[in-house]
Structure 1
Amino acid sequence: MADGRIAVIGSGYVGLTSGACLASLGHDVVCGDSDATKVAALSRGEVPILEPGLDEMVAKGIASGRLTFVHGATAAAKGSRYIFLCLPTPDGGDGRADLRIVHNVVAEIGPVLDPGAILVTKSTVPVGTAHDITATVARPDIAVVSNPEFLQEGTAVRNFMNPDRIVVGSTDRVAAEAVAELYAAFGAPSVVTSPESSELIKYASNAFLAMKLSFINSIGALAETVGADVAEIANGMGFDERIGPKFLRTGPGWGGSCFPKDTRALATIAADHHVQFPLLEATTVSNDQAQDRVADKVRAAAGGSLDGVVVALWGLTFKAGTDDLRDSPALAVAGRLAAEGAVLRGYDPAISVDVKAGKDRPDVTVVPDAYSAVAGAEVLVVLTEWPIFSELDLVKTAEGMTGRTIVDGRGMIDPAAAAAAGFRLVPLGRPAH
């Protein structure tokens, strides 16, 4: 095992998962965060995000003494050999990642780093960031290594502990291999590259997966038209080892904190370097079309107009297993419906009724259970793939509604059960029942 304490700067989704998992491997990890209240809560084992298995991982790390939390980046960085930067890199509004937080933290901790310390960027950053961080820290004895994360919300702990590969990139080969050694217990292949290649691997991976999702959603639209079933098509495609079965499930589009931001960023990087990338443009356009198609189906189910129509939404988060509303396709569809005058009532197992209104929740009244959502509704729309939606009583659901149409955006509703309850089922990617 590589020697030396690990500092994780930022205890958000990536930082907290990385810190807890690294501690579980036997490393001494200290997580630093700028929010003193959050640090105090984490020190008590209170995890502020919904992520299966993370609570237990944090509790074990604290109990073992290998995972601690401190206030501030400097306090964490002092005396650490590895400093993992797990900081926000939001979209700056023009497709470019805003790196001000990253550079401010690097400038802050630079003077206190031990000689020979290694700065590790796990944040998703554009090509050239490792070079820029080297200039910001301005110390020739400090190596900078790119080590992108490949975590999926809802399965992040499992992803970290069972990686497909470990990607590290640096101009300092020794430093890159030292970072790779931190993960040696996994036995996963290490991909050691230049920092530019490492930084681009993350963007390329996410954009490729987004393209795969956009492709199957477009195939779903075609399947509906010709009377085919997109689930059968995806199954037949998935057996091809060149394609694989993952990310071939149709739905109301892709979203979350990574795919939209990273796809836009990669397109911007290409444009900045005068490289045409029409596939990325088509990927985004196709995603918008997928959300339009769901809205079109709801409007048609309501008789052609949504003005004043009560529509029930099952699912608000961008995927099951998380409470993340960022760039949720469910909310993108909701926004389209609200713009046409629909009255929206939504339920999601992970979203509290007192969640703040605004950008993340456009014109949706959040209710405490699925049956409250359908009360008086003309149309029910399933937008997030929570397993509970396959288990609910459709007869009871029908009793509360004024209409009898379910637009199933996630393939969660059994056609026979829907028919028995008197519903007309409108799925994606296959003819309506």
Structure 2
Amino acid sequence: MAESPLRVALLGCGTVGTAVARRLVDRADEFAARVGRPLEVVGVAVRDAGKPRPESGLDASLFTTDADELVTRADVVVELIGGIEPARGLLISAMKHGASVVTANKALLGEDGPRLYETAAENGVDLYYEASVAGAIPLLRPLHVSLAGDSVQRVMGIVNGTTNFILDKMDRTGEDLADVLTEAQELGYAEADPSADVEGHDARAKAAILASLAFHTRVAAPDVSCEGIMSITSEDIRAARKMGCVVKLLAICERRQDERGDESLSVRVHPTLVPRSHPLASVREAYNAVFIETELAGELMFYGQGAGGDPTASAVLGDLVQAARHKVTGSRGPGESAYADLPILPMAQVQTRYVIRTDVQDRSGVLAHVTSVFGTQGVSIESMRQGVRRSEDGLATLTIATHAASDAALARTVDQLRLLDDVSAVTSVLRMEGI
């Protein structure tokens, strides 16, 4: 007698949900062979159950608006609705009823990942979320499993395709951000309300997930310092090009050690100057890439499509197969690892390099006045370059690159520069990584 199928419930049937459903139908025999038992979709929770969805390949009778009931009769629940509620309540209910969970919900994991992990452990089920960061790129499982015997020192990457598309297009064409953002919306890369992307909130949630896995410490989205790209101008892009750099929105998670040997974490998202020689500088369009540095394996880079129906469905289906296999064998995958419990360093104490551009009066003594401000605040200058005097206003652009300095010291320096009579404006302050 053939074994009974494993019951799969889908929450949501948008672009990704449809791609997942279609492949479960079209490749049912393959999935049964990979898992060891057939997978049967027993229901799909949607807002409008009467809406025709022939592209899913599922019978219309499987669509329901009663998600609460659906999650109580599945072996694996795949959540693709996003947001905090009702997703959180549905996943907790599913796990309490014995279902393993697969989700792509980075916002929920960034806000309440520990609670989900605790619920999974209490009920002996799996919680998988490979698709929550960097779409199709196999990234979280290598961090969680493949590098479990190593010590990760740093994770630095492009984890938001919308902002990378915008900054890359600005670099290639010289266009202003507002114009490129409009194009990104027309092409479907950016939402009508793009704030989650351009203000860095999407990348912040992903940085929290990456830091939690890489450093065995609970990190939530509010712990992540976050700056978006809306202040980046075409002049910033041109200035970066002159320096041999590009501007990227990076999520940076790194282990820090003070003079006493005490360890802490720095977790941040912000626009960053990256040398064109660095692997992340060549990441174009809406692609994602994450650069990992470890004690034993050295430098690793993961690259690929970070969004889209099919790429994200690939990651979701990979998690689904893994969770289903564990159901067949009566086992579980690795749970939360938060033993290190490292403190998270306030952004004011984080040390990094900076490039500051100012408009200054083109007259003698200016450089001495400017450098004295840096010296007073203990910020060491690596290089200084003054541009040609502009005939229209008599000002020149002064570009200053620093050695590593704390964010607090740099902020005080900028405040003091703005008070100088010789300084007309501080036009740009950008951090630099990858040197």
Q: Same fold (TM over 0.5)?
A: no
**Bin of the TM-score, shorter chain as denominator length:** 0.3 to 0.5
Provide the TM-score with structure 1 as the length reference.
0.35
Q: Which has the higher contact order (CA 8 A, sep 6+)?
A: 2
Provide the TM-score with structure 2 as the length reference.
0.35
